[in-house]
Structure 1
Amino acid sequence: MSLFITSLNSGSNGNCYYVGNNDEAILVDAGISCRETEKRMKRLGLSMQRVKAIFVSHEHSDHIKGIPVLARKYSLPVYITASTLQHGGLILDRDQVIAFSDTMPVQIGALSVKAFTKQHDAIEPHSFTITCNDITVGVFTDIGTPCNNLVQHFRQCHAAFLEANYDTRMLDEGRYPIFLKNRIRGGQGHLSNAQALEVFIQHRPRFMSHLLLAHLSKENNHPQLVHALFTAHAGNTHITVASRYEETPVYTIGGNGAPERHMATPAVTQTSLF
């Protein structure tokens, strides 16, 4: 059974990642509105009725602001740690809130969702892998440093969303105040292009068919720059830059790898983040 993946939006203005099979799917984060989530999924030929749960990586607003309406409208369980729920200020029905930990995978139909801790300036941040019939997809954004947890899980992935937030020179020479520059590159913020590329080159498994570069900075990165950087080392891995303005195509992982439907153009034309 193949997995189908798409980024519905990726950036500081909202993050939402879809992973599913023919019968069920999950969203990792829901940082765009319910209406935009519905519109983008409809354009891709995806049904919200297939979505069975939302998993929350951390409490920053660009990852959670769409959750209350989306969860209420579709009666979706929200998998979130107690600390993240408290610090995010989300108002959810009590029976929709389900805690998770990094010790036990969560089963959503045939999907096995595993959480692991990461370095980020949030109260209890996690990333996730989603596995179905020995096909694994990772969602790895908002990571301050390429720690052993990231490397271990990246090595298992047939496809991954991997943060490539900033170009070091653009950040150094850019207009951000020094405290913000230090936050971004200080080990609890975001991965640079160089850090993400090192993870890809050093730890990519031979069976990785797709890499979706995520959470690019509007001010300190450029889609064409990062696409060219990774394509030079891609081999048989298809490189896509996830946009902060639109959805990517739906990619089939474990099948022939082609877009399931190509209703949206690949986001290499993105012009914008932090």
Structure 2
Amino acid sequence: MACNKLYIASLNSGSNGNCYYVGNDQEAILVDTGISCRETEKRMLRLGLSMKHVKAIFISHEHTDHVRGLATISAKYNLPVYITQGTLNGCRFNIREDLIRLLYSTQNISVGSLQITSFLKIHDASEPHSFVVSSGGTKVGVFTDIGAACEQLIFHFKQCHAAFLETNYDDDLLSKSAYPYFLKQRISGGRGHLSNKHALDLFINHRPSFMTHLLLSHLSKDNNNPELAHSLFSEHAGEVEIVVASRFVESEVYTIFEQVSEHSPF
């Protein structure tokens, strides 16, 4: 048997900052840089991950909790930033021009031996994108800040051995919260965030048989509960390991791989 491994970790996940690490033995990328450069470095160091392996940054959209540390970390490590023109226009700071790589929908990008596929998602931002990272036949999706599960998301989710999947809010907790009506509508109105229920429907109906890990991501501090989300998914998980990505600390590093049979010529 041969293995194509990917190592994944959530460095932070929530409205206070989002940053996800995906890489193999040679290269890695960061998806979003919503925590400071210093905090990113500290968390990677604790996990035994090296910034020397990080070769690029991919930005999903321009909201502050996804780009807060971008200008500093990209400049310090001379990392190319893959970002759409609309997202770039929405950023409130300057990124070094020589580091900008304009990103387009359904684009396939090579970063060393990694392959990254981008596709448009539904969210209240300018040109928001999700990403699938591949190493050999192993695929990991980063699917957060999603208003609804569109056909593109379903298509890519079906191919993933692991995924970061948004489970932002519980319907009952959101309806009873002190949030003003307009904010509740923004969150649940189809262009904001994915609820536990909608994420669970996606997982139950479209997860592939070979999926091994699901990291529940971008949980609301006020309108969700880690134990509740974990319990809901665990009931239907089977052999899939369910992990809640924290808004306070980094996750473990998880090893994801596709096993490929090596056929004898005889």
TM-score (norm 1): 0.92
Among 189, 213, 227, the alignment partner of 1:210 is: 213
Distance, in Å, in 2 between the alignment partners of 1:34 and 1:15 is: 12
* Contact 2:119-2:152 at 8 Å conserved across structures: yes
Say which of 132, 137, 142 aligns to 2:140. 137
Give the distance between the partners of 1:67 and 1:84, measured in 2 at CA: 13
Partner of 1:219, secondary structure, is coil
Q: 1:199 is matched by which residue type in structure 2?
A: L
Contact 1:100 1:106 in 2 (8 A): no
Structure 1 distance, partners of 2:113, 2:121, is: 25
Cα offset, 1:90, TM superposition: 3.1
Q: Match of 1:105?
A: 108
Contact 1:212 1:242 (8 Å CA) reproduced: yes
State the distance in 2 between where 1:145 and 1:126 align. Answer: 13
Paired AA for residue 131 in structure 1: S
Q: Is contact 2:107-2:119 (8 Å) kept?
A: no
Query: Which position in structure 1 is the counterpart of 2:225?
Result: 222
Deviation at 1:104, TM superposition (A): 2.5
AA aligned to 1:25 is A
Report the secondary structure of 1:254's partner residue: strand
Identity in percent: 59
Aligned to 1:13: 16
2:179 equivalent in structure 1: 176
Aligned to 1:63: 66
Task: Judge conservation of contact 1:3–1:132 (CA < 8 Å) in 2.
Answer: yes
User: What is the alpha-carbon distance in structure 2 between the residues aligned to residue 255 and residue 111 of structure 1?
Assistant: 14
The answer for the alignment partner of 1:122 in structure 2 is 125
Letter in 2 for 1:252: T
Residue 50 (structure 1) aligned with residue 45 (structure 2): no
SS in 2 for 1:145: coil
Match of 1:83 in 2: 86
SS at match of 2:246: coil
Task: Tell me how far apart the structure 2 counterparts of residues 238 and 210 of structure 1 sit (CA, whole Å).
Answer: 5
* Higher alpha-carbon deviation: 103-112 or 201-210: 103-112
Give TM-score, length-normalised by structure 2.
Answer: 0.95
Q: Which runs of 5+ in 1 are unaligned?
A: 257-274
Could you tell me how far apart the structure 2 residues matched to 1:160 and 1:50 are?
Answer: 21
Output the CA distance in 2 between the equivalents of 1:238 and 1:43: 22
Deviations 1:118-168, CA, capped at 9 Å, x for gaps: 110001100000011100000000000011111011000000000000000
Aligned-partner SS, 1:85: helix
Deviations 1:206-232 (A, max 9, x none): 000000000000000000000000000
Counterpart selection for 2:236 from 230, 233, 236: 233
Please identify which structure carries the higher strand content: 2
| 1:99 CA displacement | 0.6
Q: Aligned-pair RMSD on alpha carbons?
A: 0.9
Q: Is 1:164–2:167 an aligned residue pair?
A: yes
1:154 paired to 2:150: no
Deviation at 1:255, TM superposition (A): 7.0
- Secondary structure of the residue aligned to 1:17 is strand
Q: Equivalents in 2 of 1:90, 1:201: separation in Å?
A: 40
8 Å CA contact retained: 1:25, 1:51: yes
Ranked by relative contact order (alpha carbons within 8 Å, sequence separation 6 or more), the top structure is 2
- Local SS of the residue matching 2:110: strand
Letter in 2 for 1:233: H
Q: Secondary structure at the match of 1:106?
A: strand
Partner amino acid, structure 2, of 1:138: G
Count of aligned pairs? 256
Structure 1 residue ranges (4+ consecutive) displaced by more than 2 angstroms after TM superposition = none
Q: CA deviation at 1:97?
A: 0.2
